[in-house]
Structure 1
Amino acid sequence: MLGAGADPRKTRTPRQDPKHRLWQAARVALDVRRLLILRAVLRAGSLTAAARELGWTQPAVSQHLRHLEREAGVPLLLRGPAGVSPTEAGFVLLARADAVAAELHAAEEEVSALAGLRAGRVRLQAFPSAAATLVPAAVGALAEAHPGIAVGLEEAEPDTALPAVLAGDADLALAFGYDGPPSDLSGLAWRPLLVEPVLLVLPPGTSAPPGLAALREEPWIGGCVRCRGHLVDACRTAGFDPHLRHTTDDYVVVQNLVARGLGVTALPASALAAHRHPDVVAVPLAELGLRHVGLALRPGAEAVPATAALVAELERVARHTAPAHTLTSEAAD
């Protein structure tokens, strides 16, 4: 009951008190550690596999997930004979967990950078020809200057590398686009490194054709999905659909096939710099356009000194690489 003269508008029950509401909100906040456990389980495909990766027991992982589902108020996993899969709510939390993992990794790197680049880790994904040309020189120079920085390289085409950076599974992606930066950079920053020509690669003893249209009857060898799409577009612009007899994303295999007279192809200059079969003929052809190579990273990632140091080394190596590509490009024009 209210005391005499008390104003009922100024009297709050415990549930009406703002401090109580704040406490209730804190109680239902999702536990970040459990969110990352959910991410590990969904990426591993099962509780047992995730427990092995985390170094925990399977019952401990299961208990944390039950707590997380209680906190969320909805089921997050579908369990079946083939493993686990996310519910709709699980998908939502997985996307947020990827962002949390990326931010936590950035925080870890920023703290370790207080030691003045005596420690740090950078996860780099790069397409094959960049992994063979730009990366060794840049990572080697970084190792000499800052031996405490560990760079982990994973070879990946842009279609895989760009989502990996966005999800926080990589810090940097060496990627490319044709006649401009990659079109799928949503949510990422782009640092251009170099522009290189795409060359026509022909069997031994073949004369340079006047244009792509002269090769309409030839069998073609296609590269990775992105490269293959560019080749098809260039041929269609020249008035024909290429007959793609072989496809492989290995530029060594491509050149070996061409050297045996099994087809013609188009390769960027860096692929030929990484490996050049002595028997193939490589000629510039303006119709094949240019490839733009650069670095994709999450906005703000360069605030991490180890990441910034690797970016600087890759830019330095690219500056020394670009003149040769530019000369070839001018010949193509």
Structure 2
Amino acid sequence: MASRLGPWSSRMYDPTRLAALVAVAEAESITRAAERLGYTPPALSQQLSKLERETGTALLVRHHRGARLTPAGELLTARARRVLDELDRARHELARLTGLSGGALRLGTFQTAGIQLLPPVLSAFRRAHPDVELSVADYEPPAGVAAVAAGEVDLALTHTYEPAAPTPLPSSVTAEPVLVEELVLVTSPGHVLAGDASRLPLAGLAGQPLISMAPDHPPRQGVEASLALAGATPSVLVATPGYALVCALVSAGLGVAVVPEMVARTAVTPVGTRLLEPGDLRRTISVVRRTGETAPAADAFRALLRGAFGRAHGGGGGA
């Protein structure tokens, strides 16, 4: 017997793409919407292009100052808001049926993730599970791993860098990658090395005054070694993790630095940026949980993290 759902299956739209369209409509910019959702702009553009292929019509007009909806885009955005609201209500009602009402969720984070990644996910979690008590604590990696193992928090966002010597996790915890981002060069505005679309070979840093990011900080020691091998000359040593400070020093012309792409994109002081070659300096942000533990609130939060970032970053501050 043929499925009665068959004729509709090709016209069902992915809620993730609908949410992307709504975000662009609100921000009037793919770049600003990508920052809000935790996507890279190219990844968000790809999601929107897929939605346009699904609908068979143009939904956005892209221009140098941002993006605006076409009449078809305005129609779909209005319907998408209703669909997303209904899905939020459904998640909440299902959570109540499965016992996810009340209780608490304790989260650990480091500064960049706390500012750039957590707010939209926590907002979605709050809408779906308003009765769960939330608390957030700051842990400079890898301290969040120990906090999860000790039972101080239920989940923690942490990071690792490449290259780096492998650091085994305690057997009591499991890490799930959330996103991977490249490290990029940041310079003062108008610097001779910035503004070029081509990748800069690491050898191009030879003789450049480098603001060294926590040279004694274990997660970045491999990165610091690679920069030293390329011939970058330490100019200022920032002994404790603090990317906001590093970017401020760079902006003032005291040197150049190599920071995660997310940090460069959201720096509060003006900086120039450039991708590096071969692009194997990276940071992986992961969520850590206790191995084998089933906790409905923590599981629901991890699912939201996967939905927000898992498809946006396929491989390619405090700290």
TM-score (norm 2): 0.59
Corresponding position of 1:286:
277
Partner Cα distance (1:215, 1:240) in 2: 5
Corresponding position of 2:176:
191
Partner Cα distance (1:276, 1:213) in 2: 28
Partner Cα distance (1:138, 1:180) in 2: 29
User: 1:215/1:180 Cα in 2 relative to 1: closer, same or farther (>3 Å)?
Assistant: closer
TM-score (norm 1): 0.57
Corresponding position of 1:309:
300
Partner Cα distance (2:168, 2:238) in 1: 27
Q: Which of 197, 200, 205 lines up with 2:185 in the alignment?
A: 200
SS of the residue aligned with 2:117?
Answer: helix
> CA shift at 1:227, angstroms?
5.1
1:15-54 equivalences under 5 Å are none
User: 1:242/1:227 Cα in 2 relative to 1: closer, same or farther (>3 Å)?
Assistant: farther
Whether the 8 Å contact between 1:130 and 1:270 is mirrored in structure 2 is no
Partner Cα distance (1:248, 1:263) in 2: 17
Corresponding position of 2:140:
157
**Normalized per residue, which structure has more helix?**
1
Equivalent residue letter for 2:167: S
> CA shift at 1:256, angstroms?
1.1
Any unmatched runs of 5+ in structure 1?
A: 1-112, 327-333
Whether the 8 Å contact between 1:180 and 1:292 is mirrored in structure 2 is no
Any unmatched runs of 5+ in structure 2?
A: 1-95, 195-199
Corresponding position of 1:223:
213
* Alignment of 1:258 onto 2:241: no
Partner Cα distance (1:238, 1:230) in 2: 13
Whether the 8 Å contact between 2:106 and 2:134 is mirrored in structure 1 is yes
- After superposition, give the CA deviation of every residue in 1:186-221 in whole Å (9 maximum; x if it has no partner): 222111111111011112221238433343433322
Whether the 8 Å contact between 1:248 and 1:254 is mirrored in structure 2 is no
Partner Cα distance (1:165, 1:256) in 2: 33
* Alignment of 1:212 onto 2:197: no
SS of the residue aligned with 1:158?
Answer: coil
Whether the 8 Å contact between 2:162 and 2:223 is mirrored in structure 1 is no
* Alignment of 1:238 onto 2:222: no
Partner Cα distance (2:155, 2:168) in 1: 15
Equivalent residue letter for 1:222: S
> CA shift at 1:176, angstroms?
1.3
Partner Cα distance (2:170, 2:240) in 1: 28
Q: Percent identity?
A: 31
Q: CA RMSD in A?
A: 2.8
Whether the 8 Å contact between 2:209 and 2:255 is mirrored in structure 1 is yes
Partner Cα distance (1:275, 1:227) in 2: 21
